[in-house]
Each structure stands twice: as structure tokens, then as C-alpha cells.
Structure 1
Amino acid sequence: MQANIGTIDRALRVVAGILLIALSLFGVIGLWGWIGVVPLATGLFSFCPAYRLLGLSTCKRCQ
């Protein structure tokens, strides 16, 4: 599993994931907020399976 997510992309994914989960926990958006686990996990692992399938990479040091 080679990293394919760059620094800015990674930070945005982690923030978005935490935000969605927090909104769900506080009852603002309901259970759909738990979809935030996906961007959070991809941000933490610096790997996105969809990027791999599409041949994309935002990681400059990995190219």
C-alpha cells in the first residue's frame, strides 16, 4: 500500500472526517455523518483506493 495522498489532501480529509463524525455525534446530521470514517481513514493512512483505481496521486514525494 504505497501512499498516494499529499499533505494538503490528507489534512482536508482528516478535518472533513472529524467534522462529519462530530456533527453526527451531536445529532446535527444524523447517522449519515459516520461516512466521515472513510475520509478520516484515508487521510490517516495516506492511501486512497479510489485514487489507485483512477491512477491519481496528490503525493509529490511518491511519484
Structure 2
Amino acid sequence: MMKNVGGTDRAIRIILGIALLSLFFLLPGYWKLVGLFALPFLITGLAQKCGINKLLGRNTCRLR
């Protein structure tokens, strides 16, 4: 799969992922599961590959 996440999109995904991951450590009980929503954002931001972007035909990465 080719890189399709770049620039501002990548930065937003990583920042949002870190923010959500912090909830895992801050929230009590079952609310910790909200922090697990961080994983897809962090993975797609760091790997620069997103299956949903590919399905929609989107590419925010300037390198082709």
C-alpha cells in the first residue's frame, strides 16, 4: 500500500492519538476503553497509510 497520509492530516492524527491515549491513563474503570480509540489514529499517522483514505480515493501525502 502506498503512503496516503501526509502533512497536516498526519499531524492531526498523531496529536489526536496522543490526546486520546492519555485518557487511557487518566480515566477510571471502563472509561479507559475510550483511550483505546487512540490506536488507529496513532498507527495511521505514524505509518502514513490509511485504508479508509484508499477506499475513498484520498491522498494527503505530497510524495507520490
**Corresponding residue number in structure 1 for 2:48:** 46
Identity %: 37
Give a deviation string over 1:15-59, Cα, whole Å, max 9, x none: 100110111211175312211100000000000000001111111
Normalised TM-score (structure 1): 0.87
Q: Which runs of 4+ in 1 moved over 3 A?
A: none
**Corresponding residue number in structure 2 for 1:19:** 19
Q: How many residues align?
A: 62
* 2:15 partner amino acid: V
**Corresponding residue number in structure 2 for 1:10:** 10
* 1:30 partner amino acid: K
Q: Which moved more, 1:26-35 or 1:14-23?
A: 26-35
The gaps in structure 1 that reach 5 residues or longer are: none
The gaps in structure 2 that reach 5 residues or longer are: none
Distance (whole Å) between structure 2 residues aligned to residue 61 and residue 30 of structure 1: 37
* 1:17 partner amino acid: G
* 2:63 partner amino acid: R
Normalised TM-score (structure 2): 0.85
**Corresponding residue number in structure 1 for 2:35:** 33
